[in-house]
Structure 1
Amino acid sequence: MSSPVLLSLSSFIKLDRSVSTPLFIQLAQQIINGIQRGFLATGAKLPGTRLVSNQLNLHRKTVVAAYNELEAQGWIDIIPNKGTFVLQQSKTKQAIPYTTPPLSSSQYPDKTGYPINNSNILDNPFEVNIADYSFSDGTTDIRLTQIRSLSLQYSSSMNRKGNLKRMSQYHENGSLYFKEQLSNYLNLSRGLHISKYNLLITRSSEMSLYLIAKVVLKPLDKVIVAELSNFAVNMTLLQAGAVLETIPLDKDGISIEALREKLMKTPIRMLYITPHHHYPTTVSLSAERRLELLQLANEHGFVIVEDDYDYDFHYEKAAVLPLASADTNGMVIYTGTFGKSLAPAFRLGFVVAPQNLVHEMNKYLGIIDRQGDIIMEHTLGEMIEEGEIHRHLKKSIKVYRERRDNMSALLNELLKNYISFETPHGGLATWVEFYRTQSLMNIKDKCLKQGLLIPRHILYQNKQISAMRIGFGHMDTLELEQSILILKKALESF
């Protein structure tokens, strides 16, 4: 009759000859796993190497090597003329008994054995796209990116001798070379007056806002957002413990009068705003309201977080300068994404703020992303210095302008009986409002059956409005036409 221990070994040891890990190491690791999980009781006698090799179809030398490894690590005792034993109780801690041990030692637990903090606020709302077509909230088209050119730029930056010294200057404050180039770029393109010491480099705009909230906000601080706003931003602010309140907006942006009324009742800590092209409606904050907003911030001492998420994309006229360009009292924190017209891997987030705030945020950045991506920062810095960023953006804007015009033409031709919209002056998305307040989720379901995914996060519906933010940047002419036709068919079915 086979040894019970031998039968136990064969039940949980599963060796994989296709991987690079030697078989004797795999065997030793899985026996250790069995001891830790209580499959092999302490003090139990292990079967001889010959029996194990026959049972598991291994060479005997493999089993001998595994036993030697286990003895060296202190998991077993090999006693001459007596046998091999799982470490005695006196030499190891008492094993925790399992009432219902898992069937296999390779099975990993589904849940922790201890309580954790669960966050419903941060649940991921994004959906996996398995459809032929998909709307977005306004993303670029990676197919327009010259991947080969970017790869060569990245490679040459790594190999350039002069960069060795620059790379050695990298520390917890990031690449000073990149910050110098980026500060020059922002000063020229956005009318700012900053130096490299006013910049914090992050991985994304989401990380930027997280760090801002970490330093600026305390639990129960009141933060004002527009009544239609970015759900991801709201989640980040709520997670920081903020109390969110909303104010209405119209064709000239957020209502300054509504903000003034709130300030008369209670102090606020922060206002989050996207004044260049408001997210999601794409309207711009008027010049008059910009001046009023800065004045209110100076009078009442609240922070303005200005997210210029798509500043680079404007088509008819020069872009309106950000609020930060007129801020002389340090009330505006300016955030954005550099390289948005490039492939996602070549993008970085940034924060522009007074030095004391940058210094404090950098402490938290040092915890979650201390090293950053020095090679990428140098590559982007060289692309600024050599003018490559400007040339690529100029080519991209021409394509995106054509796609915006195509979107407007299709909406006018195919959906004029169902929607109203204004052609945006910039950005990568169009705000569409439906005449009938029908269920957008029903429209979404009908479109998905026809091969078009409409993500939940671009839908906006309440008692007053039924609308959608439709990105056009990521779709070519045929894709956009087919998507709008599917949407039309869904609307006609109601």
Structure 2
Amino acid sequence: MSIPFDRTNFVYFWLTKIIQFLLKLMGQMLRPWKTILNIELGSHKSVFQQIADGIIGEIKKGRLKPGMSLPGSRILAADIGVNRKTVVLAYEELMAEGWLETAYKKGTFVSEKLPKQKERRRQRNEESISSVKNFSFTAFGSGMPASVNSAVPLIVFNDGLPDVKLAPLDELARAYKRIFQQKARWRMLGYANERGEERLRTAISTMLTMDRGLSFGIGQICITRGSQMALYLTAQILIKPGDVVAMETPGYRPAFEAFKHAGASIEAVEIDEQGIRIAELEQLCRKGQLKAVYVTPHHQFPTTVSMKADRRLQLLALSNQYGFAIVEDDYDHDYHFGLRSLLPLASYDQAENVIYISSLSKLIAPAVRVGYVAGPASFIDSLAALRMTIDRQGDPVMENAVAELMEEGIVNKHAKRALGIYRDRRSLMSKYLDQYLKEKADYQLPEGGLAFWLRFKQPVDTIAFSELLLEHGVQVISTERFSFNGKPLNALRLGYAALDEAELERGIQIIASLLP
């Protein structure tokens, strides 16, 4: 019995086949998966994770849009050359995370619930145009010289850093190793005291008593990651918006910024060969409430001037009379070339209102971030509590290692050795300044510290001059940033301690040759 020919069914059958073929072909053309998903079989990331991350990337870029169909697991597996189970695992992961969704007997799709990705538009110059509004923030700049790749060997006159090649690294490494070999070493891997390790605070308390005439107990000391953190925390605890803070000018720019961002109104007070001018301070006190004075009395930054005894007594008396705090930054106490170092302001009997800040970073090495604040116990309580909000604690292992070096006298021995070397380099620096720059600049031989303050006889824009020097292989810090009252300084602070004899001479020669 013959079956009658049904033209309608015949045409419908083949049209369906052709449409299915064309849809499959278009799908392959629209989804070049081999190029979209780059699979690295040797990668540390599993293949299913690479597939999932690749699809997420395409969704974020907007090439896979909400509702768009994805190829079946068999097709995608064949396209990229992996096992089908791997693709299934990737799809399941993406569905669990909400990137994909599935419809019964229809397939897998990009989720419709995702936020629409804005298409990227490009100008003719290929620069992206974004209509997204970005959040605002406070911009900060370090003001320090940028690192430079130069064919000329760079001679760096820093702001007075020590020579890290002299650091007692072997002794520090051995102390570090011994700490990790202790049976109870696990105790140092948990949370520790936010004030710092008691062992280190005890060692610092002993050093301050024996060497600097200070009597701070361990409850009056808080360890920080360098003196800059100590200064920042002090400013935040001490200052309320609108409080008046007097600062030396020229002075230490990071201190200026710390007080400024704490909300202080800064009053710049000139210095002379004796230190900060007390008469100007007294005028500020009479005009209104002065909250604090920031000073570097041992070796003033940047001029290296040491504040003399009578000026110190006047400053302390003024503080007690008007009730303002003195923030004493004793950043390089150990490097003094006289018969003995001047004792800190905080050691005087009249020092009722002194907050003392110092550091071991310049003594050992800048990378050893150990600073500290010493002051009234209640003040240190507040400072330690604030410290927890930005830095839960310091480095207990490093702090214990440094404490061990202090207890064994290694730090003191290193300081004496380094001081002798720096004394010789100071003499060489003075020699070359006299030899090459006597006609163009003046200086006073610093009583201590690791830098010279060179004053030019003719006006010099140190910003432009520092850029010119850099082109000739010498890096200096432009000193315009040290002036807080807008007056030109016509000077450079040249740190010499990290340079050898040849570098010192060559550096001074280049400076001399480029000065007008």
- TM-score, structure 2 length as denominator? 0.86
SS in 2 for 1:426: coil
1:137 and 1:458 in contact (8 A); partners too: no
Who is 1:84 aligned against?
108
Aligned residue among 470, 476, 490 for 1:454: 476
What is the CA distance between 1:248 and its match in structure 2? 1.4
- Is residue 344 of structure 2 the alignment partner of residue 344 of structure 1? no
Distance across 1 between alignment mates of 2:32 and 2:378: 63
Give the 5 Å matches for 1:273-422. 273-327=295-349, 330-422=352-444
Aligned residue among 465, 483, 490 for 1:466: 490
SS in 2 for 1:359: helix
Give the 5 Å matches for 1:70-149. 70-78=94-102, 81-87=105-111, 89=112, 93-100=113-120, 113-119=133-139, 122-130=140-148, 131=150, 132-149=154-171
Distance across 1 between alignment mates of 2:416 and 2:42: 50
Please identify, of 73-82 and 260-269, the stretch whose mean Cα deviation from structure 2 is larger: 73-82
Distance across 2 between alignment mates of 1:463 and 1:114: 37
Q: CA 1:153–1:208 in structure 2 vs 1: closer, same or farther (change >3 Å)?
A: same
CA deviation map 1:190-224 (0-9, x unaligned): 11111100011111222111111111101111110
CA deviation map 1:213-272 (0-9, x unaligned): 111101111110112101111111111111111111111111111111221222211100
Distance across 2 between alignment mates of 1:58 and 1:166: 48
- Is residue 253 of structure 2 the alignment partner of residue 231 of structure 1? yes
Specify the code of the residue in structure 2 equivalent to 1:147: L
Who is 2:203 aligned against?
181
Specify the code of the residue in structure 2 equivalent to 1:446: L
- Is residue 176 of structure 2 the alignment partner of residue 154 of structure 1? yes
What's the RMSD between the two structures over aligned residues?
A: 2.8
Distance across 2 between alignment mates of 1:464 and 1:458: 7
Specify the code of the residue in structure 2 equivalent to 1:415: L
Q: CA 1:479–1:361 in structure 2 vs 1: closer, same or farther (change >3 Å)?
A: same
CA deviation map 1:387-429 (0-9, x unaligned): 1111111111111111111101110111111111111111100
What is the CA distance between 1:337 and its match in structure 2? 0.9
Tell me the percent identity. Answer: 33
Who is 1:105 aligned against?
none
Specify the code of the residue in structure 1 equivalent to 2:444: E
What is the CA distance between 1:321 and its match in structure 2? 0.6
What is the CA distance between 1:66 and its match in structure 2? 1.7
Distance across 1 between alignment mates of 2:266 and 2:324: 14
Aligned residue among 218, 225, 243 for 1:203: 225
SS in 1 for 2:284: helix
Distance across 2 between alignment mates of 1:57 and 1:416: 77
CA deviation map 1:372-396 (0-9, x unaligned): 2111111111111111111111111
Distance across 1 between alignment mates of 2:286 and 2:155: 48
- Is residue 92 of structure 2 the alignment partner of residue 68 of structure 1? yes
Stretches of structure 1 that go unaligned for 5 or more consecutive residues are: 103-107
Distance across 1 between alignment mates of 2:103 and 2:187: 60
Distance across 1 between alignment mates of 2:380 and 2:318: 24
Distance across 1 between alignment mates of 2:406 and 2:464: 46
Distance across 2 between alignment mates of 1:189 and 1:135: 30
Specify the code of the residue in structure 2 equivalent to 1:437: P
- Is residue 462 of structure 2 the alignment partner of residue 440 of structure 1? yes
Distance across 2 between alignment mates of 1:8 and 1:243: 63
1:224 and 1:268 in contact (8 A); partners too: yes
Specify the code of the residue in structure 2 equivalent to 1:171: N
What is the CA distance between 1:38 and its match in structure 2? 4.4
Distance across 1 between alignment mates of 2:487 and 2:97: 68
What is the CA distance between 1:466 and its match in structure 2? 0.8
Please identify, of 24-33 and 267-276, the stretch whose mean Cα deviation from structure 2 is larger: 24-33
2:101 and 2:108 in contact (8 A); partners too: yes
1:219 and 1:242 in contact (8 A); partners too: yes
2:143 and 2:481 in contact (8 A); partners too: no
Who is 1:41 aligned against?
65
SS in 2 for 1:269: strand
SS in 2 for 1:405: helix
Distance across 1 between alignment mates of 2:294 and 2:341: 20
- Is residue 281 of structure 2 the alignment partner of residue 263 of structure 1? no
Distance across 2 between alignment mates of 1:192 and 1:110: 59
Distance across 2 between alignment mates of 1:101 and 1:56: 30
2:253 and 2:481 in contact (8 A); partners too: no
SS in 2 for 1:443: helix
Specify the code of the residue in structure 2 equivalent to 1:125: G
1:170 and 1:176 in contact (8 A); partners too: no
What is the CA distance between 1:485 and its match in structure 2? 1.2
What is the CA distance between 1:277 and its match in structure 2? 0.4
Specify the code of the residue in structure 2 equivalent to 1:478: A
